[in-house]
Chain A
C-alpha cells in the first residue's frame, strides 16, 4: 500500500465518520461540528488530488464562512435537542432502503464503466491555479459576472427575509 493510498483511506474514513456522526448527533451544534470535520477531510482529499486552490477555498468559504453562519444561526435561535416522533422513526427504514439502492446503483454504474475512467488520458501537468484563473476569466467570464449578481440578490434577499417587520 503506497503512501497516497494510506492518506486517502485515513481522510475517507474521517469524512464518512463525520457524516455518520452528523446523522447520529442529537444536538444541532454537534451536527455542525461533525460537518466541519467532513469539510476539512474533503479539503485534504482535494490536496491529494492536486487541487490546491479548491482546497483553500473549501477551508475558507465552507469551513470558515458557511459553517460560522450555521453555528451563528443555531446559537441565535437557541436550538435545542431535536425530538423524534413515531412518524420520523418510521421514515428511517424507507430512507435507509433508498440510500442503499442509490449507493448500489452508483457503485454498479462505476463498476461497469471502470475501464473508461481509467482509459482517460493522464496529462500529468494539471496547471492548477493558473489554469483555473485562465478558465474563469476567459471562458467562463460571463457566468463569473453573473455569480456576483447572484450574490448581490442573495444578500438583499437574506436582509429582507431576516428583518423585523415594522408594527
Chain B
C-alpha cells in the first residue's frame, strides 16, 4: 500500500514543473501542453484522495476534468491556428499587438 502523501507530493512536483514550463517556454503550443500537464497533476491528487477516503467522487471529478480538458484543447488549438495564420509566428513574444 503506497501512502497517500507520496501521491500528493508527486502531484505537487508535476504541478510545479507544469508552472515552470508555462513560464519558461516560448512556443505557444508547448505552453498549451504545460497547461495539460498541470491538469494531469491535479487529476492525480483527485484520484489519490478518492482512494484514501474510499469514495468515488474524486474519480467522477477526474472524468469531468478530462472532458473539459478535451473541449479546451479543441478551442485552444483553434485559437493557435488563428494566431499562426494572422501573425506568421508561434513565439509568444512576437504576439505583442496590445503592447505599448
Contacts and interface: CB of A to CB of B under 8 A. Distances in A.
| Chain A partners chain B | yes
A60 B36 CA distance: 15
B95 interface: no
B74 interface: yes
A132 B27 contact: no
Contact of A58 (B8, B12, B66): B66
Interface residues of A, number: 87
Nearest to B69: A66
Interface of B: 1-10, 12-21, 23-27, 29-30, 32-34, 36-37, 40, 43-44, 47-54, 56-57, 59-60, 62-64, 66-75, 77-82, 84, 90-91, 93
Interface of A: 2, 4-5, 8, 12, 15-16, 19-20, 22-23, 28, 31-32, 35, 38-39, 42, 45-46, 48-51, 53-54, 57-58, 61-62, 65-66, 69-70, 73-74, 76-77, 79, 82-85, 87-88, 91-92, 94-96, 98-100, 102-103, 106-107, 110, 114, 117-118, 120-124, 126-128, 131-132, 135-136, 140, 143, 147, 150-151, 153-155, 157-162
